[in-house]
Amino acid sequence: MKITPDLNRLLNELETLASFSDAPAPAVTRVVFSPQDLAARAYLREILSAAALELRTDAVGNTFARWAGADPNLPAVATGSHTDAVPHAGRYDGTVGVLGGLEAIRALQRSGFRPRRSIDLLVFTSEEPTRFGIGCLGSRMLSGALSPENARLLKDGDGNSLKEVLQEAGLDGTLENVRLANTFYHGFIELHIEQGPLLERKGIPVGIVTAIAAPATLRVRIEGSGGHAGAVLMPDRRDAFLAAAEIALAVESAAKATWSGDSVATTGVCSVFPGAVNSIPSRAVLEIDVRDTDLGRRDGMLSAIRAACEAIGVKRQLRVEIDLINADAPAQASPLITEALSASCQALRIEFMFMVSRAYHDSLFISRIAPTGMIFIPCRNGISHRPDEYASPEDINRGVQVLASALAQLAQ
Ligand SMILES: [Zn+2]
């Protein structure tokens, strides 16, 4: 079977999709359910229908485009990604997986292939957390990781509830119907730009993802006591910022002590009150991001950070409160998918490497309900979430070929 993507059409579609933007080109800003996002969704429905796919949109706006198989009762095979974009992003994050997935299906249709299992293209709602503060909204609900009750509590920055925003977008279905059964999909593959520099550095065109790291987020509040920076002498101080500084160093130590090659921990936020040069900080708030591909190691770092917070609080006589804001479990790719992908690369004579995804994707959640894997293609200098994000036509073409070949294997 010869799989020949129509690369020019795909590049034109990527360009058209990028034009639905609230920022001037080359930047792309497309926040979920904004007028530009709704216009982009209408454009997508048009080109998905033109490929003779059956469309369905669920209550949270996830779109399913189905190429019906000869045996439609079998669990389907699926691919897909997202089309929302963070402010001042580029045109390839997510969109390569959606439009590349569409082109993979069209290339299979043109080749004369007829799938036994149906093949679905999914466009997930709000992979980016920009509007509702939570990433992977659509895939979280599909997998049951976010319940309808908790989804109803979500509000955007203007105080609109998710339900109000969905109604405004013309979606008034029941959120209870979004969750998919664990038997719904035989397998799921997401094609995505790497968003890191490894493939480009090694000169390898395809990465097969074996595990997806997941973040846990801690917020630490430290209450000390303030005072005049000249009047309170050093032995009498309970400086909240100094405790925060020690905790930030303990965060670094926790990751270095765990170091597995994949363990990382970052203190990305430190706010100090009252924030005056001649006042002793009375309060500090830290936000800490901890990631690993292994849940045990990730949670081990969290425990080490908690223990350090307590010890530093006691030593400095400060109150330290720790809130776990979020802790998604990391995911392992399914051998069913990684083997289909490596067999495809070998058949196509495309060099590949196994690698880990350090950013999280909709695949993290779909992996809870279906055998899942990802294909990474290089992006220039590893840059993403910036207007100069770039993936070359040749790399996109190879990614689509590998995807199409693996979908065909899984669907036959
Ligand atoms: Zn993405």
What's the pLDDT score for residue 64? 98
pLDDT tens per residue across span 348-384: 999 999 999 988 899 999 999 999 999 999 999 999 9
CA of 256 to the centre of ligand 1 (A): 28
Cβ-count burial 254-265 (b if 16+ within 10 Å, e if not)? bbeebeeebbbb
Q: Of the given ranges (57-66, 260-269, 306-315), which has the lowest mean pLDDT?
A: 260-269
Please confirm whether the linkage preceding 393 is cis (ω < 30° from 0): no
pLDDT tens per residue across span 100-129: 999 999 999 999 999 999 999 999 999 998
CA of 174 to the centre of ligand 1 (A): 27
Helices (H), 195-294: 198-202, 240-258
CA of 192 to the centre of ligand 1 (A): 7
Checking if the pLDDT of 259 tops 80, the result is: no
What's the pLDDT score for residue 200? 97
CA of 125 to the centre of ligand 1 (A): 12
Average pLDDT over residues 6-20: 97
What's the pLDDT score for residue 326? 86
For the chain, the helix, strand and coil percentages under 3-state DSSP, each to the nearest 5: 40, 25, 35
Measured CA angle at 131 (ends 326, 27), to 5 deg: 115
Average pLDDT over residues 144-154: 96
Torsion angle defined by CA atoms of residues 85, 376, 340 and 14, in that order, rounded to the nearest 10 degrees: 50
What's the pLDDT score for residue 13? 98
Checking if the pLDDT of 223 tops 80, the result is: yes
CA of 94 to the centre of ligand 1 (A): 4
CA of 80 to the centre of ligand 1 (A): 11
CA distance 49 to 35: 21
pTM of the full structure: 0.89
What's the pLDDT score for residue 149? 97
Q: What are phi and psi of 222, to 5 degrees?
A: -120, 125
Percent share of the chain, pLDDT over 90: 95
Comparing CA positions, the residue from 219, 221, 227, 190 lying closest to residue 207 is 190
CA of 26 to the centre of ligand 1 (A): 17
Comparing CA positions, the residue from 225, 329, 213, 211 lying closest to residue 273 is 225
Comparing CA positions, the residue from 66, 100, 67, 107 lying closest to residue 83 is 100
CA of 232 to the centre of ligand 1 (A): 50
CA of 195 to the centre of ligand 1 (A): 9
What's the pLDDT score for residue 214? 86
Percent share of the chain, pLDDT over 70: 100
pLDDT tens per residue across span 153-178: 999 989 999 999 999 999 999 999 99
What's the pLDDT score for residue 262? 85
CA of 334 to the centre of ligand 1 (A): 20
Average pLDDT over residues 187-198: 97
Burial tier of 378 (Cβ tally within 10 Å: 0-12, 13-18, 19+):
buried
CA of 363 to the centre of ligand 1 (A): 10
CA of 127 to the centre of ligand 1 (A): 7
Average pLDDT over residues 27-51: 96
Measured in whole angstroms, the distance separating CA 374 from the mean position of its chain's CA atoms is: 12
Average pLDDT over residues 60-70: 98
What's the pLDDT score for residue 160? 95
The SS3 of residue 308 is: helix
Q: Which residues contact 360 (CB under 8 A, 6 or more apart)?
A: 135, 136, 212, 213, 214, 215, 328
Q: How many residues does the chain have?
A: 412
Comparing CA positions, the residue from 320, 229, 327, 329 lying closest to residue 281 is 229
CA distance 83 to 36: 11
The pLDDT mean for the chain works out to 96
Torsion angle defined by CA atoms of residues 233, 234, 240 and 243, in that order, rounded to the nearest 10 degrees: 180
CA of 191 to the centre of ligand 1 (A): 10
Q: Which residues contact 261 (CB under 8 A, 6 or more apart)?
A: none
Average pLDDT over residues 318-336: 94
Average pLDDT over residues 20-31: 95
What's the pLDDT score for residue 401? 98
Q: How confident is the model at residue 2 (pLDDT cuts 50, 70, 90)?
A: confident
CA of 206 to the centre of ligand 1 (A): 17
Q: Which residues contact 9 (CB under 8 A, 6 or more apart)?
A: 103
CA of 396 to the centre of ligand 1 (A): 15
